[in-house]
Chains A and B, each alone.
Chain A
Amino acid sequence: MTEPVLSVRGLTTSFRADAFSPWSTVVRDLSFDIGAGETLAIVGESGSGKSVTSLSVMRLLAERTSRIEGSAKLEGSELLALPEAKMRKVRGSAISMIFQEPMTSLNPMMTIGSQVAEVMRCHLGLSAAEAKAEAIRLFEKVRIPNAKDRYDTHPHKLSGGQRQRVMIAMALAARPKLLIADEPTTALDVTIQGQILDLIKDLQVETGMAVLFITHDMGVVAEVSDRTLVMLRGDKVEEGSTADIFARGKHPYTRALLSAVPRLGSMAGRLNPATFGLIDMTTGEATPERALPAAADAPPVLEVKNLCTRFEVRGGLFARVTGAVHAVEDVSFDLRPGETLSLVGESGCGKSTTGRSILRLTHPRAGDIRVDGAAMHALDGKALREARRAIQMVFQDPFASLNPRVSVGTAIAEPFIEQGLGTQAEAREKAGQLLERVGLSAKVMNRLPHEFSGGQRQRICIARALMLDPKIIVADESVSALDVSIKAQVCNLLMDLQESLGLSYLFISHDMAVVERVSHRVAVMYMGEIVEIGPRPAIFERPQHAYTQKLIAAVPVPDPARRVLRRKQDIEEIKSPFRPKDFQPPKREWREVGAGHFVQT
């Protein structure tokens, strides 16, 4: 057998807060090999130590507060014993890395060309002219359109997907033997994600480098990796060929992780949403999925007609209005009691602004919003506050949506007391009941948010939203920031609450697989407009609009056996809905293609 490119043995990494604190171990006794041309994926949820593993191999952790033990050999030479000066030569040349956040990993003050050329001049000793020619060749290789002209562009002029391409070009500049990709597509939209994964795969075939792929997304794993290593809280749980892990995962955690992954297409042929079937992580005991009832055939609780929200853009000498971002343009829909309508689309499509406009957290420019009969768009002050009782919101980031200084009991009770619905004691009692209802204990009322995990915090936010007995909850990417297994549990909680309380959800999400599971109806948004709306089975099984079809096709399938279906897509970027001042939005027409299924023509 040939020697592996990277061979890690007994890697143990510990951290401490400062020189006076005890060590706590984050990665325990981890061993793995990666051969040339091979892709190993390390999968795990937050806190599993997967990123720390790659940072340990690269020796990028602060020396004062971290300790790395064990061995990591790159083609037989030990990395952990290398002096810092030699290690610096290894980084960027023999091993290079792509990070999650393409917005912050490039220097905003340097042109993208000079950043890539610099790497080649440092590591390959090329002259300035050679480096420039080579950089342009690389930009072409990572499929940046007009590579020659883009050489002198600054990063802020590129989209997220393009920046990630530049990062890849930079990582490949010195022809590394090993590429470490740490969640390289997590911050990207799903159509862009597919393109980037394709690119990494192609370049690997071409250069024969080894790839260490770190991700939490089982769909991505199935798409790219030859072998998979599952981590749980610093320990290796299981390792094997990707096909094996997906088909015959032995450890309950692996199976729990896989069962919790929403699979696009798993709802085919079914009319109504269904909860996720879950497998317990320690015992392996399974809870089967359960179908939800159809929405009530009653008058809608929420009616939105011709909603428009624009953000003015100012420029020039006297900050005059030069144009506007048409975030939401002529959006109409309704929502019936007990129904879930999902708004899907990619970043910047206006789905969040739609939700915020309905609650009047953003001031819409025009349109009718009727919440339970009340004309939300025309209210102000006290009347608006009271109207908001019927419609509440759950936000995306469970860490930012609770005030870190306010106990969870006080946070949940606040809307009830502030709306004058009862006494302090009544509010505490109700808050306690709701905490139990969302799967926590009423005893945790006096604790502060930092004592809870992300999933628990999202449950607390749901309890807070329920405090006013709303009829509608706007869930703005409410499960997107959660780990896979927690995501499935929180989705199940939302569906349980819908069934028992008759809630209606406006479910805003970019995650097509989750949307397929939870929704009765789906509206697809693109550049501020709804391009297609209809019953969930119709949208997913018979998508009519080209954008909907593209969106569905781009979702990675968590099944390694189906990887042969490569998506050879054109390089496309998401357009911005910025319009000049005198822009007249075109009058849109919708065509009914099935019962309640409308497509923009």
Chain B
Amino acid sequence: MTLTASAPDAPSPAPATSALSQAWLFTRRHPTLVTGGAIISLMALAALAAPLFAGDPSTMNPAVRLRPPSAQAWLGTDHLGRDVFARVIYGARVSLMVGLLVALVAIGVGTVVGLVAGYFRMADAIVTRLMDGIMAIPAILLAIAMVALMGASVWILILAIVLPEIPRVVRLVRSVVLSVRDAPYVEAARAGGTRLRVILSRHILPSTVAPLIVQATYICAAAIIVESALSFLGAGVSPETPTWGSMIAQSRSHLARAPWTVFAPGFALALVVLSVNLLGDGLRDYLDPRTTRRA
């Protein structure tokens, strides 16, 4: 006897299509997401499978120094006769690993701190001031100081890059928590006697996931740049490990004679950072359709 639903007519379902055409439709809807994701995936795959197809990045051969790109060395050789292509591929290992680990650690720590700051008013003032303090320290200087004091290892490097990124995550999580903390469904849970642990994990934390995934990609891109800058300055991982920053630094003086030695790692760096940011923008639009550009 009752008419319960008053929703407008549902749009007619799209005609059933093959998986391939659906993938194509997804690509047309989210071009940035697919492009960024594809480039990053290829890079990561190449870095992992480097020993299978790229030569040894460390073998020096003074006889073939500063040779232009050829069939033997696809991107030429550097001033010590090392294969630039192999060094670029191996350099991706360091960059991507640092980017990924920094993003994971920053998100992990920042989420816990942000949750506490957002939900408990008492902790908020202290945490917020602490984060403001961290943000006042220039990231590169902090990293150089830490590497100088504690030695150059990948772990110290990651710690040094993570620290200045944490406030960004804390602020993001805190603002999301503040916006849902007094939402009626959280109040309803409180009124029903739901324990704090469940309120946080079931009703509050899930709202932070989508913005955090997007933030993670931006942190990843920033970390890759900082790592390269540190390597360029000689404050990065040990000099024998090939990294894009140290490659550019070592080849600087040969730029006029052998531009490929600088442009190859430089281009790789730009491409990775660009595609990580593309992935981030694409994810933001995909996860939150409200921000999609309108006509």
Complex Cα distance, B3 from A233, in Å, reads: 13
Distance of B128 from chain A, by nearest CB (Å): 15
CB–CB B206/A405 < 8 A: yes
**Given contacts A400-B185, A402-B185, A403-B203, A455 and B4 within 8 Å (CB-CB):** yes
Complex Cα distance, B184 from A400, in Å, reads: 6
Any A CB within 8 A of the CB of B6: yes
Chain A contact residues: over half helix, strand or loop, or mixed? loop
Give the interface segment out of A202-210, A382-390, A579-587: A382-390
**Given contacts A64-B294, A418-B194, A419-B193, A281 and B9 within 8 Å (CB-CB):** no
CB–CB A414/B189 < 8 A: yes
Total residue contacts A-B, CB cutoff 8 A: 127
Q: Which residues of the partner chain A approach B2 to less than 8 Å between Cβ atoms?
A: 278, 280, 439, 489
Any A CB within 8 A of the CB of B49: no
Tell me which residues from 202 to 253 in chain A have a Cβ below 8 Å from any Cβ of chain B: 233-234
Complex Cα distance, B4 from A278, in Å, reads: 13
Distance of B1 from chain A, by nearest CB (Å): 5
Q: Which residues of the partner chain B approach A397 to less than 8 Å between Cβ atoms?
A: 184
Distance of B276 from chain A, by nearest CB (Å): 25
CB–CB A20/B29 < 8 A: yes
Complex Cα distance, B11 from A25, in Å, reads: 8
Contact with A along B151-195 (1 / 0, CB 8 A): 000000000000000000000000000000001110111111111
Any B CB within 8 A of the CB of A423: no
Any B CB within 8 A of the CB of A453: yes
State how many residues of chain B have any CB contact under 8 Å with chain A.
Answer: 36
Any B CB within 8 A of the CB of A259: no
CB–CB A285/B188 < 8 A: no
CB–CB B5/A453 < 8 A: yes
CB–CB A388/B193 < 8 A: yes
CB–CB B6/A401 < 8 A: no
Q: Which residues of the partner chain A approach B187 to less than 8 Å between Cβ atoms?
A: 361, 393, 395, 401
Tell me which residues from 1 to 17 in chain B have a Cβ below 8 Å from any Cβ of chain A: 1-12, 14
Q: Which residues of the partner chain B approach A419 to less than 8 Å between Cβ atoms?
A: 192-193
Any B CB within 8 A of the CB of A65: yes
Complex Cα distance, B8 from A267, in Å, reads: 34
Any B CB within 8 A of the CB of A2: no
The residue on A at minimum CB distance from B26 is A20
Complex Cα distance, B7 from A455, in Å, reads: 10
Any A CB within 8 A of the CB of B28: yes
Q: Which residues of the partner chain B approach A403 to less than 8 Å between Cβ atoms?
A: 185, 189, 202-203, 206
Tell me which residues from 366 to 409 in chain A have a Cβ below 8 Å from any Cβ of chain B: 385-386, 388-389, 392-393, 395-397, 400-403, 405-406
Complex Cα distance, B188 from A464, in Å, reads: 9
CB–CB A401/B28 < 8 A: no
CB–CB B6/A47 < 8 A: yes
CB–CB B11/A20 < 8 A: no
The residue on B at minimum CB distance from A420 is B193
Complex Cα distance, B30 from A17, in Å, reads: 13
**Given contacts A20-B28, A403-B202, A406-B203, A47 and B7 within 8 Å (CB-CB):** yes
Any A CB within 8 A of the CB of B148: no
Distance of A494 from chain B, by nearest CB (Å): 14
Distance of A136 from chain B, by nearest CB (Å): 38
Any A CB within 8 A of the CB of B48: no
CB–CB B188/A65 < 8 A: no
CB–CB B3/A281 < 8 A: yes
Any B CB within 8 A of the CB of A461: yes
Any A CB within 8 A of the CB of B270: no
CB–CB B188/A280 < 8 A: no
Tell me which residues from 75 to 118 in chain B have a Cβ below 8 Å from any Cβ of chain A: none
Any B CB within 8 A of the CB of A342: no
CB–CB A453/B184 < 8 A: no
State how many residues of chain A have any CB contact under 8 Å with chain B.
Answer: 63
CB–CB B184/A395 < 8 A: yes
CB–CB A24/B9 < 8 A: yes
Contact with A287, one of B1, B6, B12 (Cβ below 8 angstroms): B1
Distance of B119 from chain A, by nearest CB (Å): 15
The residue on B at minimum CB distance from A359 is B191
Any B CB within 8 A of the CB of A601: no
Contact with B198, one of A25, A285, A418 (Cβ below 8 angstroms): A418
**Given contacts A18-B29, A62-B294, A65-B295, A395 and B5 within 8 Å (CB-CB):** no
CB–CB A418/B25 < 8 A: no
Distance of A360 from chain B, by nearest CB (Å): 9
**Given contacts A405-B206, A415-B192, A456 and B4 within 8 Å (CB-CB):** yes
Any B CB within 8 A of the CB of A63: yes
Any B CB within 8 A of the CB of A483: yes
The residue on B at minimum CB distance from A489 is B2
Q: Which residues of the partner chain B approach A454 to less than 8 Å between Cβ atoms?
A: 6
CB–CB A285/B1 < 8 A: yes
Contact with B25, one of A20, A278, A468, A489 (Cβ below 8 angstroms): A20
Distance of B89 from chain A, by nearest CB (Å): 37
CB–CB B193/A385 < 8 A: yes
Distance of A167 from chain B, by nearest CB (Å): 25
Any B CB within 8 A of the CB of A187: no
Contact with B193, one of A62, A278, A389 (Cβ below 8 angstroms): A389
Q: Which residues of the partner chain B approach A500 to less than 8 Å between Cβ atoms?
A: none
Contact with B along A441-457 (1 / 0, CB 8 A): 00000000000011110
Q: Which residues of the partner chain A approach B9 to less than 8 Å between Cβ atoms?
A: 24-25, 233-234
Q: Can you list 7 residue pairs at the A/B interface with Cβ under 8 Å?
A: A26-B8, A63-B295, A64-B294, A396-B184, A401-B184, A439-B2, A486-B6
User: Residues of A with Cβ closer than 8 Å to B?
Assistant: 16-18, 20-26, 45-47, 49, 62-65, 233-234, 256, 278, 280-282, 285, 287, 359, 361, 385-386, 388-389, 392-393, 395-397, 400-403, 405-406, 411, 414-415, 418-419, 439, 453-456, 461, 464-465, 467-468, 483, 485-486, 489
